[in-house]
Amino acid sequence: MSQGWLAGPGSALSGEVVVPGDKSVSHRAVMLAAIAEGSSRVSGFLEGEDTRATARILGQLGVRIETPSANERLVHGVGLRGLRACAEPLDCGNAGTGMRLLAGLLAGQGIESVLTGDASLSRRPMGRVIVPLTRMGARIDSEPGGLPPIRIHANNALQGIDYELPVASAQVKSAVLLAGLCAKGETTIREPRSTRDYTERMLAAFGWPVEFRPGFARLAGGHCLRATDIQVPADFSSAAFFLVAATLVPGSDLRLRRVGMNPRRTGLLEALRLMGADIRIERPEEQGGEPVADLRVRHSRLHGINLPAALVPDMIDEVPVFFVAAAQAEGTTRVTGATELRVKESDRIATMCASLQRLGANIVETPDGAVIRGSRLSGGEVDSHGDHRVAMSLAVAAQRASGEVGIADCANVGTSFPGFVELARSVGFGLQATG
Residue 109 or residue 262: which is nearer to ligand S3P going by CB?
262
182 strand-pairing partners: none
CA separation (Å) from 366 to 248, 384, 390?
25, 20, 18
Other CB atoms within a 10 A radius of the CB of residue 87 amount to 8
Residue 34 or residue 248: which is nearer to ligand S3P going by CB?
34
Closest CA to 192 of 103, 312, 105: 312
Distance CA 17, CA 408 (A): 25
- How many CA atoms does the CB half-sphere of 361 hold within 13 Å? 34
Question: Least separation, in Å, of the C-beta of 205 and ligand S3P?
Answer: 16
Question: Least separation, in Å, of the C-beta of 163 and ligand S3P?
Answer: 14
Question: Least separation, in Å, of the C-beta of 34 and ligand S3P?
Answer: 16
Question: Least separation, in Å, of the C-beta of 169 and ligand S3P?
Answer: 4
Peptide bond into 149 cis (omega under 30): yes
CA separation (Å) from 307 to 25, 170, 397?
27, 21, 19
**CB within 8 A of 380, min separation 6: which ones?**
358, 359, 360, 401, 403, 405, 406
Question: Least separation, in Å, of the C-beta of 391 and ligand S3P?
Answer: 15
Closest CA to 139 of 109, 178, 170: 109
Residue 170 or residue 371: which is nearer to ligand S3P going by CB?
170
Catalytic-residue membership of 91: no
Residue 97 or residue 346: which is nearer to ligand S3P going by CB?
97
Question: Least separation, in Å, of the C-beta of 82 and ligand S3P?
Answer: 24
Residue 171 or residue 231: which is nearer to ligand S3P going by CB?
171
Residues binding ligand S3P (CB under 6 A): 24, 97, 169-171, 174, 195-196, 316-317, 340
Signed CA dihedral, 298, 301, 307, 308: sign only: negative
Signed CA dihedral, 29, 295, 257, 422: sign only: negative
Of 317, 347, 387, 409, the active-site residue reads 317
Distance CA 36, CA 34 (A): 6
Residue 165 or residue 359: which is nearer to ligand S3P going by CB?
165
Residue 91 or residue 318: which is nearer to ligand S3P going by CB?
318
Question: Least separation, in Å, of the C-beta of 340 and ligand S3P?
Answer: 6
Residue 222 or residue 308: which is nearer to ligand S3P going by CB?
308
Torsion of CA 363, 365, 368, 373, to 10 degrees: -20
Question: Least separation, in Å, of the C-beta of 171 and ligand S3P?
Answer: 4
Closest CA to 94 of 124, 59, 133, 136: 124
Q: Which of the residues are catalytic?
A: 317
